[in-house]
Amino acid sequence: MFVRLLYESFRRQKRRKLLAGAAVALGVTVTTAMLGVATGIGDKINQELRSTGSNLLVTPKDDTLDVEIGGVSLKPPSDGAYLNEADLPKIKGMFWRNNIVGFTPMLPVNVDIGSTRGSAKTELVGTYFNRQLQFGKEKFTTGVLATHPWWKVAGEFPADGSADVLLGELLAQRFNVHPGDEITLDGKPHRVAGVLSAGGTDDGRAFAPLALAQQLLAKPGAVRRVYVSALTKPEDELARRDPKTMNPQMFDRWYCSPYVQSIAYQLQETIPNSRAEQIRQVAQNEGNILSRIKGLMLLITVAALLASALAVSAAMATAILERRREVGLMKALGAGKIAVAVLFFAESTLLAVIGGTLGFTLGAFLARQIGLSIFNSQITVEPVLFPYVLALAALVTFIGSAAAIRKAIRFDPVHVLRGDA
Amino acid sequence: MIGSPTPRRRSGGSSMFLRMLLRSALVRRGRSLAALLAVVVAAAVATAMMNLYVDAEAKLRHEFRNYGANVVVVANEGEPLPADVLDRITSTLGRDVLAVPFAYAVAHKADGTSVVVAGVDLDRVKRLNSWWSVTAWPTAQNQALVGVRAAAALASNGRPIDLNFEGRQRSLVPVGELRTGAAEDSRIYLSLSDFTQWTGVTPSSVEILVPGSADEVTAAVKRLSTALPTAQVRPVRQIMEAEARVLGKTRSSLYASALLIILTAMLCVLATLTGWVLDRRRDFAIMKALGASERLVSGLFATEAAALGLIGALIGFALGAAVAAWIGRANFHSAVVPRFSLLPAIILGSMAIATLSALLPISLLRRVQPAMILRGE
**Which of B50, B218, B267, B274 is most worth mutating to test chain A (most A CB atoms within 10 A of its CB)?**
B267
Q: Which residue of A has its CA nearest to B50?
A: A300
**Residues A243, A148 within the same domain:** yes
Domain of A19?
Answer: 2-46+289-418
pLDDT recorded at residue B315: 95
Judge: A285–B67 Cβ closer than 8 Å, yes or no. yes
B47/A contact by beta carbon, under 8 A: no
**Residues A171, A91 within the same domain:** yes
Domain membership of residue A284 (yes or no) is no
**Which stretches within chain B are classed as H helix?**
7-27, 29-64, 85-93, 122-128, 148-154, 192-199, 214-227, 237-278, 281-289, 294-332, 343-365, 370-374
Domain membership of residue A283 (yes or no) is no
Please count the structural domains in chain A.
2
B226 exposed, middle or buried (CB, 10 Å; 0-12, 13-18, 19+)?
exposed
Domain membership of residue A158 (yes or no) is yes
pLDDT recorded at residue B240: 86
pLDDT recorded at residue B190: 92
CB distance A107 to A224 below 8 Å? yes
Query: What ipTM does the predicted assembly reach?
Result: 0.81
pLDDT recorded at residue A76: 67
H or E, element range at A193: strand A188-197
Among residues A278, A304, A336, the one where a domain terminates is A278
Under 8 Å CB pairs connecting chains A and B tally to 212
A303/B contact by beta carbon, under 8 A: yes
**Residues A14, A128 within the same domain:** no
pLDDT recorded at residue B376: 62
Q: Mean pLDDT per 10-residue run, chain B (377 residues)?
A: 44 70 71 81 88 86 88 83 88 88 90 89 92 92 90 81 89 91 90 91 91 87 90 86 88 88 83 78 81 83 90 94 88 84 92 88 77 70
Report CA B261 to chain centroid distance, whole Å: 19
Better pLDDT: A396 or B349: B349
Q: Give the amino acid at A421.
A: A
A200/B contact by beta carbon, under 8 A: yes
**Residues A368, A269 within the same domain:** no
Q: Which of residues 334-363 of B touch A (CB under 8 A)?
A: none
**Residues A268, A395 within the same domain:** no
B chain contacts of residue A311, beta-carbon cutoff 8 Å: 264-265, 267-268, 271
B chain contacts of residue A57, beta-carbon cutoff 8 Å: 181-182
Question: What's this model's pTM, rounded to 2 decimal places?
Answer: 0.81
**Residues A253, A341 within the same domain:** no
Q: Which of residues 81-110 of A touch B (CB under 8 A)?
A: none
pLDDT recorded at residue B8: 44
Judge: B250–A45 Cβ closer than 8 Å, yes or no. yes
User: pLDDT tens across A309-340, in order?
Assistant: 877 777 777 777 777 777 888 888 888 888 88
C-alpha distance from B311 to closest chain A C-alpha (Å): 19
C-alpha distance from A224 to closest chain B C-alpha (Å): 14
DSSP conformation class of A64: P
A chain contacts of residue B55, beta-carbon cutoff 8 Å: none
**Residues A359, A274 within the same domain:** no
B96/A contact by beta carbon, under 8 A: no
For Cα atoms B79, B80, B86, give the angle at the middle one, nearest 5 degrees. 140
Q: Which residue of B has its CA nearest to A287?
A: B63
Domain membership of residue A65 (yes or no) is yes
Q: State the greatest distance between any 2 C-alpha atoms of chain A, in Å, as a whole number.
A: 109
A chain contacts of residue B257, beta-carbon cutoff 8 Å: 34, 37, 297, 300-301, 304
Judge: B60–A293 Cβ closer than 8 Å, yes or no. yes
Side-chain-facing half-sphere of A111: CA atoms under 13 Å: 28
CA–CA distance, B10 with B323 (Å, rounded to integer): 45
A chain contacts of residue B204, beta-carbon cutoff 8 Å: 69-70
Could you tell me the pLDDT band of residue A78, with boundaries at 50, 70 and 90? low
**Residues A306, A390 within the same domain:** yes
A260/B contact by beta carbon, under 8 A: no
Q: Give the amino acid at A369.
A: Q
Mean pLDDT of chain A: 86
Could you tell me the pLDDT band of residue A39, with boundaries at 50, 70 and 90? confident
**Residues A163, A235 within the same domain:** yes
- Write the residue in A34, A321, A419 that is nearest to B260 by C-beta: A34
pLDDT recorded at residue A133: 92
User: pLDDT tens across A340-374, in order?
Assistant: 888 888 888 888 899 999 999 999 999 999 889 88
pLDDT recorded at residue B96: 82
pLDDT above 90 for A236: no
**Residues A296, A256 within the same domain:** no
**Residues A68, A191 within the same domain:** yes
CA–CA distance, A192 with A206 (Å, rounded to integer): 10
**Which of B260, B262, B334, B372 is most worth mutating to test chain A (most A CB atoms within 10 A of its CB)?**
B260
Domain membership of residue A165 (yes or no) is yes
A chain contacts of residue B330, beta-carbon cutoff 8 Å: 295, 299
Among residues A255, A278, A301, the one where a domain terminates is A278
Phi (first) and psi of residue A191, to 5 degrees: -85, 140
**Residues A38, A126 within the same domain:** no
Among residues A223, A247, A278, the one where a domain terminates is A278
Could you tell me the pLDDT band of residue A387, with boundaries at 50, 70 and 90? very high
B288 exposed, middle or buried (CB, 10 Å; 0-12, 13-18, 19+)?
buried
A20/B contact by beta carbon, under 8 A: no
pLDDT above 90 for A128: yes
pLDDT recorded at residue A102: 93
